[in-house]
Amino acid sequence: MICFVAVAIALLSACSGRPTSLPATFTEVADSACIYPDYRDVTIPPNIAPLNFMVVDDAADAFVADLGGLVCGAGSDGKMDIDTAAWRSLLTAQRGKDIEVRVYARRGQGWVRHPAFRLSVAEEPIDSFLSYRLIEPGYELYRQLGLYQRNLTNFTQTTIYENNRSYDNDENHCVNCHNYQNYDTERMLFHVRAAHGGTVVTNGREAHKIAIKHDSILAAGVYPSWHPTQPLVAFSTNKTGQVFHLLYPEKIEVLDTESDLILYDAERNQVSNILRSTDALETFPCWTPDGTRLYYCSAKMPELEGENTEALITSRFDSLLYDIYSMPFDLATRTFGEPRLEVDASSQGMSCSVPRISPDGHYLLYTYGRYGQFHIWHKSADLWVKPLSNDLAPYPLTAANSPDADSYHSWSSNGRWIVFSSRRDDGNFTRPYIAYFDRQGQARRAFLLPQRDPEYNQLLLKSFNVPELTRSAVRVTIEELNHVVRHTEAQVAAYK
């Protein structure tokens, strides 16, 4: 009852005093409006959902925003709920142009107007769907988590798969590493860990569960990359652990004590080794858009004297430096050629991770940090780009980066947008940020994925993991995935 009363009071207070027109008289102030999310001077896709935002000003009791003629009001909570139809018309009209946004606040002495900021509307749209995992940034335990899909043109979020809503010992499982083939949802996969373990592979509306395990391979597949045209998946296979700092700028280290690369044939349910080495740690494979090369990260295995490899690697956590390599792939023979060093970070005393090739094949996007490969827990991690079509040196995407961790990233299918995970909001909870990537190979200032309630990200106690853009919605139903995960046995892949 109290709950309902409180909700009613909250609604009433939110609705009351919400102005609907621009003030006739006001005073100009020099300070910029404090808004959350910070959408000032960002470039946005012409098909993005309304950028609802919240003005934070304790001295004001009402707000109005003028978004290029679209007027939106807010009560004392400062929450601007932009009309979707009007927003869509605005973006259509302003495609390729700028929208000037002016924010007015009603303070004790009357209305004030803050300096204007700009929203640049790009010509190129972003892929309509973004999928991600929502999970608390807990470290070892999990309870309720799932893979979700957001329609970027509106605020609809649908569930791809959820583990469990209430706890059950026998049912508890984790899902991770969802991946799609070439921005399409016809073929996708994700892993299931603990109860009902395996890898779920879909083909259109059908799905099945496989298990990749064999004496000849190190372990099950971990980080995947679908070949752009063939039913092939390159996986890294990792023996991973995590350790917790007692006193260090970073809180966690996720370390591989062994890792290799394997190739999985989804049509024949066969697996084979790509690279099986004891002197190097290979991880994060990624195909080029034409499927003729495979990029991956590799670090030299430190020379260890002693029996406990895990403890020794842990003690040298900050000396594990990964470079990016690539190997040619012959589709006819399904063989790989000699590795070629693409980004030499280790010689600079730095480390690279998560290589991603732009759809036009001209750019290699990756994260660059002080050490290691699990950069999402490293404040030093930034997005960098290496042009592949010329010999220009790699450079950081300065406008898109932040002082905190900017890591797991993916391209849109037209190569004009990148989406990535960032801890810039609070240093702890990752949020998906979107940045425009222009034809000169520079990224613009990134903006937070808009939500209907702009306060959403401040209240959400989960992280957005592995944001992946796709052109269409996932086709397989949640019921089918539930059936496959919970009621079918994994088919063990044969080793070839």
**Whole-number minimum distance, CB 156 to another protein, in Å?**
15
By beta-carbon proximity to another protein, the closer residue of 45 and 454 is 454
Report the residue number, 44 or 145, with the smaller CB distance to another protein: 145
Nearer to another protein, 318 or 330 (CB): 318
CB of 58 to another protein, least distance (A): 13
Name the site residues for another protein (rule: CB under 8 A).
Answer: 1-3, 6-7, 9-10, 135-144, 165-170, 172, 174, 176, 240-248, 251, 253-254, 314, 425-429, 453, 455-456, 458-461
What DSSP string runs through 303-330? ---SS-HHHHHHHTGGG--EEEEEEEEE
Q: Is 373 left (phi over 0), alpha (psi -120 to 50) or beta?
A: alpha
Residue 172: CB minimum distance to another protein, A: 8
Mapped onto helix, strand or coil, the DSSP state of residue 201 is strand
Contact 197, 211 (CB under 8 A): yes
If the CB atoms of residues 165 and 439 are measured against another protein, the closer one turns out to be 165
Of 72 and 254, CB closest to another protein: 254
Cβ contacts of 59 within 8 Å, gap of 6 or more: 105, 107, 108
Find out whether 317 and 324 touch, Cβ atoms under 8 Å. Answer: no
Q: Closest approach of Cβ 43 to another protein, in Å?
A: 25
CA distances from 111 to 31, 66, 67, 82, 361 (A): 14, 14, 17, 21, 52
- Secondary structure of residue 89 in the 3-state scheme: helix
Beta carbon nearer to another protein, 238 or 412: 238
Q: Which one, 244 or 395, has the nearer CB to another protein?
A: 244
- Sign of the CA dihedral with 126 first, then 223, 267, and 276 last: positive
CB of 428 to another protein, least distance (A): 4
- Is the distance from CB of 36 to CB of 51 less than 8 angstroms? no
- Burial degree of 186 (CB within 10 A; 0-12, 13-18, 19+): middle
In the bound state with another protein, the residue whose beta carbon lies nearer, of 70 and 312, is: 312
Shortest distance in whole angstroms from residue 245 CB to another protein: 6
The residues near 348 (Cβ < 8 Å, ≥ 6 apart) are none
Least distance CB 92 / another protein (angstroms): 30
**In the complex, minimum distance from the CB of residue 442 to another protein, in angstroms, rounded to a whole number:** 27
The CB-of-459 to another protein minimum distance in angstroms stands at: 4
Rounded CA-CA distance 78/101 in Å is 15
Specify the residue, 144 or 277, whose C-beta has the smaller distance to another protein. 144
Let me know: does 110 contact 25? Beta carbons within 8 Å. Answer: yes
The whole-angstrom separation of Cα 65 and Cα 61 is: 14
Measured between alpha carbons, how far is 315 from 149 in angstroms, rounded to an integer? 39
Q: How far is CA 364 from the centre of its chain?
A: 17
